[in-house]
Amino acid sequence: MKQLLQDLSKDGPDVVTAPTPAVTSGTLLIDTTVSLISTGTERMLLDFGKANLVQKARQQPDKVKAVLSKVKTDGLLTTVEAVRSKLAEPIPLGYCNVGTVREAGTAVSGFNAGDRVVSNGSHADVVRVPQNLCARIPDGVTDEMAAFTVMASIGLQGIRLAKLTLGECVAVTGAGLIGLLTVQLLRAQGCRVLALDFDEDKLALARSFGAETCNPANEDPIAAGMAFSRGAGMDAVLITASTKSNDPVHQAAQMSRQRGRIILVGVVGLELSRADFYDKELSFQVSCSYGPGRYDPAYEEGGQDYPLGFVRWTEQRNFEAVLDMMSAGAIETDTLISHRFDFEKAPKAYEVLGNDKSARGIVLNYPHDIESRHVAQVDLAGKDGATPAAGKPVLGMIGAGNYGSRILIPAFAKTGATLHTIATSGGTSGVVHGERGGFAHATTDTESLFADAQINTIAIATRHNSHAPLVTKALQNGKNVFVEKPLAITREELAAVEAAHADANRLLMVGFNRRFAPQIQTMKKLVDQVSEPKSFMMVMNAGAIPEDHWTQDNATGGGRIIGEACHFIDLMRFLAGAPIISVQARRMGNAAGVAITEDKAAIVLGFEDGSFGTIHYLANGASSFPKERVEVFAAGRTLQLDNFLKLKGFGWPGFKKNSLMRQNKGQATCPEIFMQAVEAGGPAPIPAEELFEVSRVTLEVAEILRAQK
């Protein structure tokens, strides 16, 4: 397949050839026929890409504050690397897609192969979209017309929030695509509409749809609004403009009637004046995209619909309502289209978008052969596919998410191993990061990695619930395995991994990188000089993660104790150098208004040599406080490691401090040492018995916390 991606450090999109996405449970695989460029959102992305770093910072002051906070806690160099990595992460363009269903995943209902559907899929000739973000297209609606469905739904959601009734006076500020579609929807609902914009061509279109108009460049919009409403004031104002100015909100308030409603659909300045709203008791609300369900993982990814009796209009039902209006002839889109391009000439379309401010609806057509779009594997540029030398590590990688792409792939690339194939579910991320890292192939067929005889090592960086099954399968197929933590999220999964490892005689490694950090290695050498028991204190200022994030879901992420606190259980096990013989844990108690999650907890571990330690894993601390601290007390001496930057010794003969310019948590060393062990034929950098011990203890901690009354 081919897809348009925008690198935020560039001024234009790239067309990437990638393997066809693998259809998954609850999703549809769609062959695209038409997509619509969002002139507002996508022009903004283009402009952001063209801007230099200073201009980018001015456009996102909130992000600048976060960056400065990170500099204080993690150091300048670490922060700079993170920012550069984020800016270089390509994002898919587009969210208005029309096509034909090729395949429906398991758990899909209401859709079949061959259905014409609209979705919020990107500009790609094949897209995979969750079923709740798709809607079937009525026979009387053309593909080009249907391509406007998602944008119209954005306006429709604003209308629903305004709770308008027949005959009310409504101003629409901003006559772009969404504004003009909103005008038509309002007219169909029986409202009187006043459209405001500085572009006379857009206002002419608004008049053709039945609105009266006002150009603020030539007349006073407040006076126009009052005259239009016969002196009573507007019942509602929908702001669909995109501007940094505060004027649209101020003008909306001035032209509104007593207890009028102002709904922000677009993006404008929000320095609100209390006086504007106080006297008239105005209501102001920001509309969220296409409607209820947007950004709810349970609805969009999990396929859990909201009961119609309680939530009449979800985003999917808004799509259907718009399509019904199109079928009835209440929405006209032909005059909204200013340009048409075949998908192969998409870069030309974006030149028009960037240079022609009068461009309205830019449609991309996908006339090229459908079957040629579908491939399971692509060869990456510049790789000759030469047969690797015997005995050398040959890596197949599964997953290219944030950590995998930013940390693991560069780390494996530096090991000198042959990077054979990278497998991802969506395809595109595998191509982007596989090409950067030096892989020869990218695929969406994960099974092919297990079957390929050349690949002797598998690295796994997927969601937590897939770790143990993939590790088990890789071991059963005779592969060495590197898996990001956690190794397993249930005892049954762990038992399966242990059984497969016992039979396989292959190396197994979990990405417990902190034990390989240089300052931890220094601590280990120092504490090993002390024969008497030690006391360990570890604090993890983990930061809050929403309760509905996948890592908090026990079935998918295993929860944050299993998913992340395992790092510190392993680190303490490493520093103690003795088996764990006792486990205690306590999480924060229930409180009104506080989410009941396990990520605010204390863990106490006892060791066979008499040592003990506490791990404070806390999601309720200040973000400005350093993220990690490790302390060791032994024989009248103390070691303190602050955020993997500064290591201090107190009363320690021959050692006072060790400071680094940038954080080093051993993230690059961990894969390097593992690949060296693969090439040498062992032993494993972390004994398998320790990996299983740490996993069992982590699972026990999670069980204790979840059972807490």
| pLDDT, tens digit (0-9, with 9 covering 90-100), for 236-252 | 999 999 888 999 999 99
Supply the pLDDT for residue 623. 87
d(CA 320, CA 134): 9
How many CB atoms lie under 10 A from the CB of residue 626?
A: 17
| pLDDT, tens digit (0-9, with 9 covering 90-100), for 626-642 | 999 999 999 999 999 99
Closest CA to 657 of 667, 671, 665, 647: 647
State pTM to two decimals: 0.89
Supply the pLDDT for residue 71. 64
The neighbouring-strand residues paired with 126 are 31
User: Residue 79 is encoded by which pair of tokens?
Assistant: 């922060």
d(CA 424, CA 418): 18
d(CA 706, CA 709): 8
User: Residue 262 is encoded by which pair of tokens?
Assistant: 């102002």
Percentage of residues in the chain with pLDDT exceeding 90?
82
Helix (H) or strand (E) holding 377: strand 377-379
How many CB atoms lie under 10 A from the CB of residue 231?
A: 8
Q: How far from 44 is each of 50, 59, 152, 243, 315, CA to CA, in Å?
A: 10, 11, 19, 11, 24
Amino acid at 404: G
> Band of the pLDDT at 383, cuts 50, 70, 90?
low
The phi-psi region of residue 233 (left if phi > 0; otherwise alpha if psi is between -120 and 50; otherwise beta) is left
Supply the pLDDT for residue 546. 87
d(CA 361, CA 338): 5
Helix (H) or strand (E) holding 599: none
637-642 vs 646-650, strand pairing mode:
antiparallel
User: Residue 440 is encoded by which pair of tokens?
Assistant: 């020869």
Residue 466 half-sphere exposure toward CB, CA atoms < 13 A: 11
Are 647 and 658 in contact by the 8 Å Cβ rule? The answer is yes
| Close Cβ partners of 583 (under 8 Å, ≥ 6 residues apart) | 603, 604, 605, 606, 697, 700, 701, 704
What's the N-to-C CA distance of the chain in angstroms?
52
d(CA 613, CA 633): 10
User: Residue 411 is encoded by which pair of tokens?
Assistant: 């780390």
Torsion, Cα of 196, 197, 203, 207 (10° steps): -10
d(CA 381, CA 64): 36
Are 598 and 560 in contact by the 8 Å Cβ rule? The answer is yes
Sign of the alpha-carbon torsion through 71, 73, 75, 81: negative
Supply the pLDDT for residue 384. 54
At 276 the three-state DSSP class reads: helix
Closest CA to 103 of 127, 135, 132, 125: 127
> Band of the pLDDT at 207, cuts 50, 70, 90?
very high
Q: How far from 210 is each of 207, 237, 262, 324, CA to CA, in Å?
A: 5, 17, 21, 20
Residues for the chain: how many in total? 709
Radius of gyration of the chain (CA): 29
The neighbouring-strand residues paired with 650 are 638
Closest CA to 388 of 455, 480, 481, 451: 455
pLDDT at 54 over 90: no
The overall average pLDDT reported for the chain is: 92
Supply the pLDDT for residue 62. 64
Sign of the alpha-carbon torsion through 135, 138, 139, 143: negative
> Band of the pLDDT at 72, cuts 50, 70, 90?
low
d(CA 78, CA 83): 9
Q: What angle do CA 233, 234, 235 make, to 5 degrees?
A: 115
Torsion, Cα of 56, 58, 60, 63 (10° steps): 90
d(CA 580, CA 603): 12
Supply the pLDDT for residue 51. 57
| pLDDT, tens digit (0-9, with 9 covering 90-100), for 526-585 | 999 999 999 999 999 999 998 888 899 999 999 999 999 999 999 999 999 999 999 999
- Per the listing, tokens 């989410």 go with 595
469 preceded by a cis bond (ω within 30 of 0): no
d(CA 151, CA 266): 12
Least confident of 302-316, 338-352, 379-393, 590-604: 379-393
Least confident of 1-5, 42-46, 562-566: 42-46
Are 339 and 363 in contact by the 8 Å Cβ rule? The answer is yes
Residue 150 half-sphere exposure toward CB, CA atoms < 13 A: 24
d(CA 102, CA 121): 14
Residue range 420-446: average pLDDT? 95
Burial label for 197, CB within 10 Å (0-12, 13-18, 19+), is buried
Supply the pLDDT for residue 48. 62
Supply the pLDDT for residue 81. 65
Percentage of residues in the chain with pLDDT exceeding 70?
92
How many CB atoms lie under 10 A from the CB of residue 193?
A: 24
Closest CA to 632 of 514, 537, 540, 539: 537
d(CA 415, CA 410): 9
> Band of the pLDDT at 667, cuts 50, 70, 90?
very high
| pLDDT, tens digit (0-9, with 9 covering 90-100), for 327-345 | 999 999 999 999 999 999 9
Closest CA to 544 of 623, 619, 627, 625: 619
580: DSSP letter: E
Residue 104 half-sphere exposure toward CB, CA atoms < 13 A: 17
Domains, the chain, with CATH or none: 2-148+333-365 (3.90.180.10), 150-286 (3.40.50.720), 377-511 (3.40.50.720), 514-707 (3.30.360.10)
